[in-house]
A and B are shown apart, each in its own frame.
Chain A
């Protein structure tokens, strides 16, 4: 097969994956300052989409629009259309709490609550009423910790404080906490930037496994990480979406010169 044919086949394969979230002409303003310029970006189901770009390029801002975490920032305004399974998430009729239960989030710095490991994981299921009995709740907690690859490390100390874990374990606890709510999409904002290489490898492995059940959008500063974990990559620069492409193509033969330059380390 020629290179062009391979590409075409890949493109076709990707194009058959249904779209989970769609962003159309998304712009974000912080007060008078514009942070995003008409971004059109789709998130495909059961795919890991990586958002890359230099600091301050708007990738985290875009990520936070997907579950309306920007609402908590004073003076932040979003225009354009973002849909989840075809429904506008900025529709006034939408309950933002319900949206965030469907689109979970993992933050840059591990932020376990100062409660026990068990309480951390059961927090979401409790407020959303996902478990009716203690046994069901126990099961949700165990399942979530297993999915986050943390169960074997913490099963004997579920009632110790979550803040006593190591950094990598804390971040996986936060992932377990997000998974416990059974979201459809998980947003990750540089989840490994505060972790050492070994903990990073574990989290990346986890992202691979989670892809089977969840749609994942991850912001990362590490090009290698984007290449390792994602199937689609979007490159942001100065608030604009420069290029969105299959990860393989993006890192071997990007369409845009700026992407090439950034990946080669010429700026950023």
Chain B
């Protein structure tokens, strides 16, 4: 019996249990639902949960544990000579057994008999059935495969019996406990509470898992390359892994970090004034009609995938800036040579800035509108103009919040990948000319992890070190931003 079918049966039992629970609740109430502690629906839900949740947990646990038990018992059936081999070879043998086990049910009686007599034909016969076996099979493997299939079948049947039995028992006992004073609502809500808790803990656990996996790989890297060479190195020159080179190259973080911060800075230079002015217009001047029209349009920008911005930078902004610089240079000196490269800090910065505008404007707009109306009225009542009110009262009051919003935006700029991959170039250089290409941490992560890789060389593992560095920077920025925003909120409460 497949797991899907089993879950389906459990659900069906739960559905029946729900109806029965409701009916019984109505019956014990004698038609007066006010006599019940909870609404009949809650009794139904309680019975359904009792019929569904315990078997579900058993199914999950069984599916997680039973393969280990089955595997170890199958390995016990291996001949002693195989058991004496190294663990890796044993695993290989077990892998073949598992493959054969998958193919066995597809064979006819005759084919099976033929193979049992001559196991060397197994590979060819299986291939006709669409099951690829890696090497020539040995006689004991057929027996082991049969054992494996038998045990799996038994395990599934036992699981189905246990789960359905548990489900029916749960439904039966919970139905019996339905009584007017029984607090079904509280119990059901308790289960919902646990479900909510589970959902939020999944998000947190995932974060911890991500950090842990990055940290372990980064630690590997730091055993090969000293941490100070990575964090304070000024040259980024990872040689190709295994190219016969004696040295493994240099992994200096500084040029990448400089590029990241420089491009982020240019982006913020574009996004902050434009976004902030847009937010002020939206919050203070726009009529409700205008606001309802313009705000969603502005936020469309936020919905464009960043790779599309990358195209935009690559095929439009970059060439435009290059040609523009050539024309300007020609007009000024007569020499039509471009001084802005198509891939440059300024191209990536401008396009990333455009991407960030909606974040800045949307976050700032929320913060500006959160400034109490009383402050606005107070200033206007003293004879200040709208503009004076904004400059002297609203922006100062909203400033901490806006700073928080800008920090959050900055952390997005630092973590942004696709735009810089396409628009900034890959040259890891330390320079200050915004018209030349530079590269960022994210670009190098992409580069180091693209292609055929071995996960033991520093050339690959450096990506994890870069990743965790980036993660720490953006995390710190976000935490600081949240701290500022929270502090600011308290002012008005």
| Among B77-85, B159-167, B385-393, the stretch in contact with A | B385-393
Beta-carbon contacts under 8 Å, A159-196 to B: 163, 174, 177-178, 181
Of A100, A102, A112, A113, which contacts B380 at CB under 8 A?
A100
Name the CB-closest residue of A to B381.
A105
Most buried by A among B376, B380, B388, B392: B380
How far apart are A3's CB and chain B's nearest CB, in angstroms?
Answer: 42
The answer to whether A100 touches B375, judged by C-beta atoms less than 8 angstroms apart, is no
Q: Is A1 an interface residue (CB 8 A)?
A: no
Contact-residue bracket for chain B = 20 to 34
> Considering the chains assembled together, what is the distance between the CA atoms of A174 and B375 in angstroms?
11
The answer to whether A111 touches B375, judged by C-beta atoms less than 8 angstroms apart, is yes
How far apart are A128's CB and chain B's nearest CB, in angstroms?
Answer: 6
With A100-B380, A100-B381, A163-B491 as contacts: A113 and B393 at CB distance below 8 Å? yes
SS class of chain A's interface: helix, strand, loop or mixed?
Answer: helix
> Considering the chains assembled together, what is the distance between the CA atoms of A98 and B381 in angstroms?
11
SS class of chain B's interface: helix, strand, loop or mixed?
Answer: helix
How far apart are B403's CB and chain A's nearest CB, in angstroms?
Answer: 15
Of B288, B383, B388, B397, which contacts A113 at CB under 8 A?
B397
> Considering the chains assembled together, what is the distance between the CA atoms of A99 and B378 in angstroms?
15
1/0 per residue A63-102: CB within 8 Å of B? Answer: 0000101001010000000000000000000000111111
With A113-B393, A114-B491, A115-B396 as contacts: A72 and B379 at CB distance below 8 Å? no
The answer to whether B382 touches A107, judged by C-beta atoms less than 8 angstroms apart, is no
How far apart are B404's CB and chain A's nearest CB, in angstroms?
Answer: 16
Q: Is B139 an interface residue (CB 8 A)?
A: no
1/0 per residue B347-382: CB within 8 Å of A? Answer: 000000000000000000000000010111111111
Q: Is A124 an interface residue (CB 8 A)?
A: yes
Contacts of B376 in A (CB 8 A): 72
Q: Is A58 an interface residue (CB 8 A)?
A: no
Q: Is B58 an interface residue (CB 8 A)?
A: no
The answer to whether B385 touches A178, judged by C-beta atoms less than 8 angstroms apart, is no
Using CB atoms and an 8 Å cutoff, list the residues of chain B in contact with chain A. 287-288, 372, 374-385, 388, 392-393, 396-397, 491
Known: A107-B378, A113-B396. 20 other contacts (CB 8 A): A69-B377, A72-B380, A97-B383, A97-B385, A104-B383, A105-B377, A111-B374, A111-B375, A111-B377, A111-B378, A113-B378, A113-B393, A114-B375, A123-B379, A123-B393, A124-B383, A174-B378, A177-B378, A178-B381, A181-B382
The 5 A-B pairs with the shortest beta carbon distances in the complex, nearest first, are A101-B383, A105-B381, A111-B374, A100-B383, A124-B382
